Amino acid sequence: TLFKKTSKTIGLIVPDISNPFFPELVRAVEDVTNIYDYTVILCNSDEKIEKEKEYIEVLKQKYVDGIILTTNQLELAEVSELDVPVVVLDRPLNHSFPSVIADNYGGARLATRHLYEIGCRRIAHIQGPLHVVNAVERFKGYRDEMQELGLWDEDLVILGNYQLNQTKEAVLQALKEHEIDGIFAGNDVMAVGALKAVQQLGLRVPEDVAIIGYDGIPLTEMTTPELSTISQPIYEMGAIAARLLVKKIEGQPLEQIHHVLPVKLVQRQSTSKGE
């Protein structure tokens, strides 16, 4: 008889656990897989494709029973070669693997429309890294909404990297060069960077520049002013992905393969003018 080697472990590859979005996601994966007696091996890829590949090799050598990938850098060929069950989480991969993502395009339109509705007309967008599919989706949502409003101006697009460092500098630069009265940041960490930059120039939030982030991490409630955000159901995303993976490992049928969860607008002080 052939025995398939199992280890009761699963691998979880995330880009950067120091971004507070990911601890919540990881917590959910761990909570749910623990119920079924699996242990999670956590890997940080730092948004680097080489690290992703290395980790996949290591996870295979450890005979993990399945992998949850929060990445979108792997080529189709590479992921197809994986002979363990895989679930894609948060960042869609161009593949038929089961997936759990949130509505990135819709969320970006919602954020942009919200800034418009509170009176902003020169709305800038801080993009996430362009190799990340959901950063591109958010950019498209912003662009389409701006075009529909007749406000599109490519000078208002600021390239960010989903991290705090650089974002502040990039926003300082943009504020010096362009007239900007609203900022939609592609994630909350960058919204914090934008807030710092705006305040450093002596401008008021939201009166001079309104700011909205994306993710819904607790940090947004701890800034002054508190930051508005598009909140993703982070824990739920992780929990659904974990359940899908366990089912796949245990050979159970999946009722639904691709999940796109809704996001919601959380309005706080950074976009509340005179209310």
Sequence-ordered strand ranges (E) for the chain: 9-14, 39-44, 66-69, 86-89, 99-102, 123-127, 157-159, 182-185, 210-215, 228-231, 258-261, 264-266
Specify the residue, 182 or 186, whose C-beta has the smaller distance to ligand RIB. 186
Among 99, 134, 228, 229, binds ligand RIB (CB under 6 A): 134
Specify the residue, 114 or 247, whose C-beta has the smaller distance to ligand RIB. 114
Residue numbers 22-41 binding ligand RIB by CB under 6 A = none
Query: CA–CA separation, 141 vs 63, rounded Å?
Result: 40
Q: Binding mask 195-224 vs ligand RIB (x if CB under 6 A, - otherwise)? A: -------------------xx---------
- DSSP per-residue codes, 25-47: HHHHHHHHHHHTT-EEEEEE-TT
Is 109 a residue that touches ligand RIB (CB under 6 A)? Answer: no
Q: Binding mask 75-94 vs ligand RIB (x if CB under 6 A, - otherwise)? A: ---------------xx---
Specify the residue, 122 or 140, whose C-beta has the smaller distance to ligand RIB. 140
Among 10, 21, 108, 271, binds ligand RIB (CB under 6 A): 21
Nearest distance from C-beta of residue 63 to ligand RIB, angstroms? 28
The angle at the Cα of 255, spanning 249 to 259, to the nearest 5 degrees, equals: 90
CA 127 to chain centre: 11
Number of shown-chain residues binding ligand RIB (CB under 6 A): 11
CB nearest ligand RIB: which residue?
A: 187
Specify the residue, 151 or 219, whose C-beta has the smaller distance to ligand RIB. 219
Specify the residue, 164 or 203, whose C-beta has the smaller distance to ligand RIB. 164
Neighbours of 127 (CB within 10 A): 23
DSSP-derived 3-state class of residue 158? strand
What are the structure tokens assigned to 174, written together?
């943009």
Among 105, 139, 142, 162, binds ligand RIB (CB under 6 A): 162
Closest CA to 164 of 135, 189, 131: 189
Nearest distance from C-beta of residue 1 to ligand RIB, angstroms? 43
DSSP-derived 3-state class of residue 60? helix
Main-chain dihedrals φ then ψ at residue 123, nearest 5 degrees: -100, 115
Largest separation between any pair of C-alpha atoms in the chain: 73
Residue numbers 165-184 binding ligand RIB by CB under 6 A = none
Q: Which residues bind ligand RIB (CB under 6 A)?
A: 19, 21, 90-91, 132, 134, 162, 187, 189, 214-215
